[in-house]
Amino acid sequence: MADKDCPDASNPTDFVMTFRDPSVIANWHAHVYFDSSSRDAAWAFREQIEARWNGKLQMGRFHERPVGPHPMWSYQLAFAHEQFAELVGWLALNHGALDVFLHPNTGDALRDHRDAAVWIGHSHELAPGALR
């Protein structure tokens, strides 16, 4: 196998399931993706999020350039595991044309971003090299 972290379809042992307890999740990040044409919509969405959650989550910077493994402009929401259902439900119903990338934070950034991620809207290819 070329990459020790990628399963090899010809080797059935690479597909053995390992189960982790969700208690390893410290918190979650949601990254709202946008570009120059959707910048204003992303800002308006951010304002709606801030008004609705009013200090109950941590809002990150509004990056008008790709940052880390994220291939598009984005901003981050950090929220508690206990807020997952309500916040992700709201994002799923209200994201409009914006794409949202979610991942847990377990202490293994590469695995969290690559193997345990959830997408709302369209998915985008990340740059996992930024996490190694």
Summarised one tens digit per residue, pLDDT across range 71-124 is 999 999 999 999 999 999 999 999 999 999 999 999 999 999 999 999 999 999
- Return d(Cα 52, Cα 96) in angstroms, integer: 16
Closest alpha carbon to 73 in 33, 115, 116, 13: 33
Summarised one tens digit per residue, pLDDT across range 1-18 is 344 555 666 666 666 778
Cα–Cα separations (whole angstroms), residue 100 to 4, 11, 14, 37, 122: 28, 33, 29, 16, 8
